[in-house]
Chains A and B, each alone.
Chain A
Amino acid sequence: DAKTTQPTSMDCAEGRAANLPCNHSTISGNEYVYWYRQIHSQGPQYIIHGLKNNETNEMASLIITEDRKSSTLILPHATLRDTAVYYCIVRSQAAGNKLTFGGGTRVLVKP
């Protein structure tokens, strides 16, 4: 699986959009970009994933650059409950494939 690079931490104001960057310059053609988050010590929670097109769901939007070497997770209106560690993971969709977590970005949403 390709390696990802994320900032260690970032702050965001409540009600504002949070833009979380991720670099994955060694991504290969069949690898997807996944985002998970972990609130405090709870189990990781799936947010969104994409291959090359931008994606949006009820939680977030995912913007992937045309060369696929980087992406941005957007939380459109951050709330205090969005305070968490956010993980960008690149992997193929092979059956049974594990998730390899890095250090993630610790996001603190401030009132």
Chain B
Amino acid sequence: DQQVKQNSPSLSVQEGRISILNCDYTNSMFDYFLWYKKYPAEGPTFLISISSIKDKNEDGRFTVFLNKSAKHLSLHIVPSQPGDSAVYFCAAIVPTGGGNKLTFGTGTQLKVEL
């Protein structure tokens, strides 16, 4: 079963506008949420994260919003730039006694057009 879902496989946005990427989850034990960006032929790169005790975290052009009651989070990129074109993965962590294994969604391909 897919515990982390990204229902939009792709998104196209004009340069300078806001990009909004969405993610839903089903496991209420998830305590931490992260966003990764992936370019072709490269590994995922960590972007931003949020703890379940917060509802917003901002880092430069990137803001993540968390709505725990709806089990929904979103990544806002503003303004969008052509270099932001990549696949974006939402990931979540259930804190256990040891490792922090990531459970990923299926990704959203973002294309920022000139």
A-B complex is real: no
